[in-house]
Amino acid sequence: MTFNPMDMTGRAVLVTGASSGLGRAAAIALSRLGARVFLLARDEVRLCETLAALEGDGHGHLSFDLNSVDDIPKVMADIAGRFSPLSGIAHFAGLMQTKPLQASKPADYESLYRVNVIAGMQLLRSCAARGIVTDAGAAVVLVGSVMSLVASPGQGAYAASKAAVLGLVRTSALELARFRVRVNAVLPAHVSTQGADTSNHHLTPEQMEQFERKHPLGFGRPEDVANAAAFLLSDASRWITGSALTVDGGYTAQ
Ligand SMILES: NC(=O)c1ccc[n+]([C@@H]2O[C@H](COP(=O)([O-])OP(=O)(O)OC[C@H]3O[C@@H](n4cnc5c(N)ncnc54)[C@H](OP(=O)(O)O)[C@@H]3O)[C@@H](O)[C@H]2O)c1
- DSSP three-state, residue 122: helix
Q: How far is CA 12 from CA 83, 88, 110, in A?
A: 8, 7, 31
Give the CA radius of gyration of the chain: 17
Pocket mutation for ligand 1, best pick of 14, 15, 19, 110 (most atoms within 8 Å of C-beta): 19
CA of 192 to the centre of ligand 1 (A): 12
Q: How far is CA 190 from CA 54, 171, 180, 228, in A?
A: 24, 27, 32, 15
Q: For 201, list phi and psi in degrees, rounded to 5.
A: -65, -20
Helix or strand holding residue 48 (H, E): helix 44-53
Q: How confident is the model at residue 229 (pLDDT cuts 50, 70, 90)?
A: very high
Q: What is the pLDDT of residue 234?
A: 98
**Cα atoms in the 13 Å half-sphere on the side-chain side of 236:** 15
Helix, strand, coil share of the chain (percent; to 5): 45, 15, 35
Task: Specify the CATH architecture of the domain 12-242.
Answer: 3-Layer(aba) Sandwich (3.40)
Q: Which residues are catalytic?
A: 158
Chain mean pLDDT for the chain: 97
CA of 119 to the centre of ligand 1 (A): 13
pLDDT at residue 1 tops 90:
no
Q: How far is CA 219 from CA 14, 189, 193, 251, in A?
A: 27, 8, 11, 9
Q: What is the pLDDT of residue 95?
A: 97
Determine the Cα–Cα distance for residues 58 and 39; give it in Å rounded to an integer: 12
Atom 34 (ligand 1): residue with closest C-alpha? Answer: 41
Q: What is the mean pLDDT of residues 48-53?
A: 98
Atom 23 (ligand 1): residue with closest C-alpha? Answer: 17
Q: Is the CB of 94 under 6 A from ligand 1?
A: yes
Q: Taking the domains of the chain in order of start, what are their residue ranges?
A: 12-242
pLDDT tens digits for range 189-215 = 999 999 999 999 999 999 999 999 999
CA 18 to chain CA mean position, Å: 9
Please enumerate in sequence order all residues whose Cβ is within 8 A of that of 110, keeping only pairs 6 or more positions apart, or say none: none
pLDDT at residue 236 tops 80:
yes
Q: How confident is the model at residue 223 (pLDDT cuts 50, 70, 90)?
A: very high
CA of 3 to the centre of ligand 1 (A): 33
Pocket mutation for ligand 1, best pick of 16, 22, 48, 71 (most atoms within 8 Å of C-beta): 22
Q: Is the CB of 193 under 6 A from ligand 1?
A: yes
CA of 154 to the centre of ligand 1 (A): 18
Q: What is the pLDDT of residue 226?
A: 98
Query: CB neighbours (10 Å) of residue 41?
Result: 24
CA of 143 to the centre of ligand 1 (A): 9
Determine the Cα–Cα distance for residues 119 and 72; give it in Å rounded to an integer: 7
Q: Is the CB of 249 under 6 A from ligand 1?
A: no
* pTM of the predicted model as reported, rounded to 2 decimal places: 0.98
Q: Are 142 and 115 in contact (CB under 8 A)?
A: no
Instruction: Tell me which DSSP letter residue 146 carries.
Output: G
Q: How confident is the model at residue 179 (pLDDT cuts 50, 70, 90)?
A: very high
